[in-house]
Every structure is written in structure tokens, then in C-alpha cells.
Structure 1
């Protein structure tokens, strides 16, 4: 009897736990009416009027952020971007069999993408800064993390959109999935003639868009949103067929591409682990390592400096490479020195060494140029001061001491600093007011400067 009671209590606790968890994860609580949510998403699909202008301005802001490598500016642009609307509209339309909404979403997404790339291309064509910064380079090739972010971000976005009280989740999804920067990077690729950048960035945008739409579709079906009803059953079947075809044509290629991204990411990680763990020798250092992954070949190329590895040591490394799951991967070892048949360090490695220090060199050059400019200006001011002092003594016999120099002042109201010329003059005896005015006017004409600081004694 006691055993039965114990079992009954255990079952009761288990049931209560299940009920507790179900209540905790229940999506019905706080859920907006399905029709209201569908209407909310449908309204955000359209790109015209204010929505289109907001998109254009957001693209300009994001392009500037990428151009000057400012993460804060890029995040701000993603917050105001309305790109999420038609992408979620595609997922909703597929989930409720609304072919008209699907066509409208695709059409508006096409308009948004075209306008975005056109705007960013125009900006990057006219901007004086043409270097590809790190924020821009990060959007030229998708990784497995981009796929996961788009999937889970899309799930969060549609769940937030289905609530009565709209939270800050949707703007957060816009930031996390980063839909806008890839389009701006694609524009940079067109403006600079770099098609690899264009296709890589557009590929990233496509992957993000598909997985956001897919996550929207999954939640819509999970929450059992009502499907669009047709009076004509034949038309309903035709619409379902069209939507299925659209969905398959969109999802299947993206899933295949995403699978390729996952494989490449895993290979890259394994290759890095191999180099980090196995290529460690006391008197030899890794100068550079490149990882090349393509459908036709997979190569790990490592350049070493220091004591050369023997043929036996290289053969052991080639055998160990398979232990890291790197089948069909070729290992190339470049070594410095001579007397062996191993590939010697080439100009490419020297170029890599230079590129590592290029930023430092540019910074030093800029500082040197600034110092040279300041020295030249100070020298010119000193020479001018000597010339003016001789002339001033002729015009003003009472002038006893004279100095002209550049000084830096700070405006405490605007918190800005500027440079001006400071004039010091000592008269004996003290000049009249008219002579002081005549002296100041002459100094301004002589120095060709309207902003002068006078200290007269």
C-alpha cells in the first residue's frame, strides 16, 4: 500500500511538472488575434511612400557606417530599416496559402533590394573613401553562424510579432540578422567592380532572407493560423501548388547552400585546429597560414621560418592530417632557406609581412606629415614676425618689444579648439587709441588674417 502511495505521489509530481512547463512555454498566452497579426505583417510588406524613403536613408546611413568602419552607425541603420516586412510576409503567405500576399511580398522585396543596391552603389561610387574596412569585409562571405542567426532570429521575430504587446524583439532581430549591411556591401562590390564582393554579400542576404521566411512559416503553421479559404476548390489546389513550388524553389537551393556553408565552416575549424596543435616545433615558427576550400580542392598552406622541417617530419604531418577529419586535404609547407627541394619563401609572404605592418606605417606617415606641417607653419610665422617687427618699428617709433606666434585656444562653450596668431606689442610711451587702431589694422593686412589675438602694453 505504501509503495502504491509513493508511486501515486511521484506520478502526481511528474504531471504537475509537465503542466508547469507547458504553461511556461505556452505561446497562446498574450497572443494577438491571428487576423490582427496577419494584418500587421501584411501592412509592413509594402514599400512605397514613407517606407521607401526610410529604406533609402537607412541604406545611406549603413553605407556610411561600413565606409568609416563604425559599428554603432551600422546598428542604428539596421534599427530604422523596414526590410523585415516583406521577408516575414513571404513566410506568412506560404503558411496560410495566400498567393496574392506571396506575390506582393516578393514584388516589394524585389523593389527594396533593387533600391538598396542602387542607393549603396551610388554612395560608394561618389565617396572619397574607397578602402574596404573590416565591417564591410565581414559581410562578403556567409558562415554557418549567419544561417543559425537568421533561423533563430526569424523565430524570435514572428513570435514577437504575434503578441498583443509588441516588444523590442523585432528591432533586435533586424540588428541580429543584419539584413541591410550585406546589401550595402553588394553595392560596394558593384561600385568598385569587385564581383566577388557583390555575389558573396548578396549570397549572405539571400541566406538570411530565406531562413527568416522559413522560421516565420514554421511558427505560423505551429500556431495553426487559419489558411485562406477559396470558394473554388480547383483554384485552392492551384494556389497551394504554386505556393509549394515557390517554397521548394526557394528553400531547397538555400538549404543546399547552407549545407555547403556548414561543411566549409567545419573544415576551416578542423584545419585551424590541425595547424595549431600539430605544427608546433621549438625552433620553427609559423609565418603565415592559408586555408583554401572549394569543390575541387582543399588546401592547407603554411609558411614557416626558422629551422627547416625534414622530409620525415612533413610526411608525419601529412599522415596526421586525416586524424582531424581532413580527408582529401592537401598540405603545402613553404620554408625559408635553401639546400632542400621544399618550396622557398616567395614574394607573396614578404607581401603578407608588409600588409601586417601597413596600418602602422600609414599611421607613422600621417604623424610625420602632421609634424612637418606644424614645423613649416611655425617657421613661416617666425620669419614673418621678424619682418613685421622691423617694419612696425619704422611706422611706430614708440614700439619697444614685438612678438608674433601661433597659439591654440579652446572655445569652452562649443568645446572646440582652433589655431590663431597672437601679437604682443610693448609701446613706450603708451600710444593713443587712434594709433592702436591703426597698428591693429596694419597687422591684419600684413598677416592676411582677420582672427588675431592682441596683447598690447
Structure 2
């Protein structure tokens, strides 16, 4: 019974994950990838303009524009071509793809460099900075994206769907190559190296994913005349993959350790230093120096108490960390305060600006609401008095309109608009009297009456 159940589960899993029914013919898939390999004419021009679009997006910090550039770019073709060439032992295809890839890369870097040399916006935005420090996660993204790409290319139903565009967005080939151009144009070689390394991670692991994909799908391979050469090629591929992963793994390890340190430090500050009588003005946590610098405001924390707190650093997993505390009543060193507050100065400025804007908005809303409030407060007395003083009136409808002066330069203002439904016709004198009475009752500076 147990064996039968296991067999049924295996069959079910096999049916769910089986791609054979949707698989295009092997030759059709190979031809499709081969057709996308060559880089000349229209494809090269499309790539150049895609690089311009991506550079503009990075320069203006526009995510939408960057995504658009990824969708335009035809650079995925040669990368998958290299993977397919290695996967089926077609080294003519591999050489062709590699040549196209190198051509595309050179033109991409040149185009991005030219753009960033002539643009007046030379500041590195967050979208640019995000491409300068690749991690092991980028390796996994490229590998998973590449696997999705090759499966979609081999699938009849998915090849024209949104998988390939999705892979282009997820693996993000365009932004790092544009950031490389930015680094060259501005002389920031660290940015250029980091971004180009990310570009190579994406390239190598999308290609590797293609190799894995064609192996899983049992594509026919060209026979090697020399088995030793085949073994050597496989060893070279494995070496390239490992060598590419090593720096990313180291960077990821450092990033994770830094994040853990910052989380522990923040937890320590909140638990040990913050209280009802003492507030944290600013904090400066430095992983490289293993230091925590804090500025406190409020009731002064005694030296004995600070010594006790420092002893508890180890309890919070912060062994070897130095705690520096500056308090409101201390003799403060100007350089120390400048260092401590530099990180929070921009944030504080933004908070003040936001508060100011919110206050101005509230004042505008209050000012706009005042006429309405006057009418609402006077509504009951207007109703009672109007029945007695102006029996011709059936109903009143009060609203507000904006006056835009076209013939003279003057600020726009508002006018109270009153629509009147009459039981019987009203003479001019009574109408004038009604207008003056309404102006007084609802305290309107300007008023226009429209009969209904």
C-alpha cells in the first residue's frame, strides 16, 4: 500500500512538472537562439538607444525609464547563444555569440561614457549606487532568471509571453553597464569596476543557466573528437563560475555581518540608553571601526551608569565595540558633534521641510473651508429669516467659484455663487435687497445670484 502511494505521488509530480507536451522541437529552439545572436545593423542601433534610455533613467533616478530600457535591449541573445554553444558543444556558435557579446559590451560602455561626459547631472543617484556593490544574491537572481529564460525559449506557449521580458528586468543587464560608463566618465574607477563585475555576474550565470537548461532538456550534443578537450572545457566553465562567485560571496558575507552588527547596535541603544527622561538625538554606528557614537538629550546619565551599560555590550553580541556617549551638558568638541550629526542633518532638514509643507497645506485647507463654515453656521437663521423677508424665494443653493482674470495680471480669487428658485417673479429692488442681505448673513465679500 505504501509503495503504491509513493508511486502515485511520483506519477503526479511527474505529470505536473513534465514540459515535454509544451516543448518546441530542439532544432526550432536552437534556430531561434541563433537568430538572436548576431549584433549588427538594426540590433546595434536599438542597443545604443536602449543604453541612452537606461543612462537617462539612472541619471534622473527613474525606475520606470530603467525598466523600459531593459525591455528594449536585445543583449540577451548573445548571452543565451554562448550558453547554448557550450551546452551542445557547438563552439562555432559560442565564438559567434562571444564576438557579438564583446561588440555589444564595447558599444554599450562607449555610449554610456559619452552620455555621462556630456550630461550636466553628474551626481550619483540611488539607482546608480545600487549597481556598484554586487552580492551572491545577484548570482542567484541571474541563475534563476536564466533558467526561466531557457525554459520559456524551449516552450511553445511561453516563448512569446512575458517570461523573457521578465528575465531582462530581473537580471538587469543594462543598468550595470551604464553605471560602468558613469564610473569611467567621472573617473570613479571603483564604481566602474563594481558595476562591470555585476554585469559579468549576470552574463556568466545566465549563460550557465542556459547550459544547465539544455542539459536538463536532453538536447543533442555534437561529439567531441578529443575527450580530453571536452573535459578541459567543462573544467574551464566550472572554474569561471566559481571564480565569479567568490568576490560576490565575500561581499555578501561582509554585508550580512554589517547588517547584523547595525541591528544589534540599534537594539542595544534602544534597550540600554533610551528612557522616559533621556532621548536619543542621533546615533552613528560604524561597523568597520566597531564604534557606536550616540548623542543624548534630557536627564544626564551618570558615569557609573554608563560604565555598567558598556559592560553589557558583550551581552548584546557587540564584543570589542567601543561606545561613545555625548550628553547635552557635556563640553562638546565641534568636530565630534559635526561627525555625529552629519548623517542625520539631511533627514532632519527633510522632516522640517515636510512639517512646514503640511502646516502650509493645513492653513490653505482651513482658509478654503472658512466661507463654507460661515454658510453652515448661518444656514438655520437664513432659512427662517428668508421665509419672512423674501416670500418669493422657494429655495437657495450656495456654492463657490474661482475667478481667473484673463485681461489683467491679478491673483485668482473666489466668488460666492447663489442659485435661487423663485415661487414668483422678483423685482429689481427686492433682488438688490436680497443680495445685500445674503452678503451680510454669510459674510461674503463678492456674491453672484443666478435665478433657476
TM-score normalized by the length of structure 2 = 0.69
Paired residue secondary structure (2:38): coil
2:267 maps to: 277
Partner Cα distance (1:319, 1:345) in 2: 27
Contact persistence 2:295–2:340 (CA under 8 A): no
Q: Shift of residue 342 of structure 1?
A: 12
Contact persistence 1:335–1:343 (CA under 8 A): no
Paired residue secondary structure (1:204): helix
Q: Shift of residue 298 of structure 1?
A: 6.9
Greater displacement, 183-192 / 332-341: 332-341
Paired residue secondary structure (1:187): helix
Partner Cα distance (1:359, 1:133) in 2: 17
- Note the residue ranges of structure 1 that are not aligned, 5 or more in a row: 1-6, 323-328, 365-402, 410-457
Paired residue secondary structure (1:125): helix
Paired residue secondary structure (1:97): coil
Residues 21-420 of structure 1: matches in 2 within 5 Å? Answer: 21-165=13-157, 166=159, 167-230=161-224, 233-234=225-226, 237-238=228-229, 240-241=230-231, 243-280=233-270, 281-282=274-275, 283-285=278-280, 287-292=282-287, 299=290, 301-306=292-297, 307=300, 310-321=306-317, 330-337=320-327, 345-357=336-348, 405-406=408-409
Q: Shift of residue 155 of structure 1?
A: 1.1
Partner Cα distance (1:142, 1:90) in 2: 23
| Deviation string, structure 1 residues 41-95 (Cα, Å, up to 9, x no partner) | 2222221111111110000001111111111111111001112122222222222
Contact persistence 1:298–1:330 (CA under 8 A): no
In structure 2, relative to structure 1, the CA distance for the partners of 1:42 and 1:303 (3 Å cut) is farther
Paired residue secondary structure (1:29): helix
Q: Shift of residue 103 of structure 1?
A: 2.4
In structure 2, relative to structure 1, the CA distance for the partners of 1:330 and 1:103 (3 Å cut) is farther
In structure 2, relative to structure 1, the CA distance for the partners of 1:241 and 1:14 (3 Å cut) is closer
Contact persistence 1:335–1:342 (CA under 8 A): no
In structure 2, relative to structure 1, the CA distance for the partners of 1:164 and 1:170 (3 Å cut) is same
| Deviation string, structure 1 residues 323-344 (Cα, Å, up to 9, x no partner) | xxxxxx7524333248799998
Contact persistence 1:63–1:184 (CA under 8 A): yes
Q: Shift of residue 408 of structure 1?
A: 9.1
Paired residue secondary structure (1:32): coil
Partner Cα distance (2:40, 2:131) in 1: 27
In structure 2, relative to structure 1, the CA distance for the partners of 1:340 and 1:358 (3 Å cut) is closer
In structure 2, relative to structure 1, the CA distance for the partners of 1:357 and 1:134 (3 Å cut) is farther
Partner Cα distance (1:341, 1:275) in 2: 23
1:386 maps to: none
State the number of aligned residues: 351
Paired residue secondary structure (2:37): coil
2:365 maps to: none
Residues 430-445 of structure 1: matches in 2 within 5 Å? Answer: none
- Note the residue ranges of structure 2 that are not aligned, 5 or more in a row: 356-405, 413-452
Paired residue secondary structure (2:323): strand
Contact persistence 2:139–2:245 (CA under 8 A): no
Q: Shift of residue 12 of structure 1?
A: 3.7
Partner Cα distance (2:289, 2:40) in 1: 47
Partner Cα distance (1:125, 1:178) in 2: 23
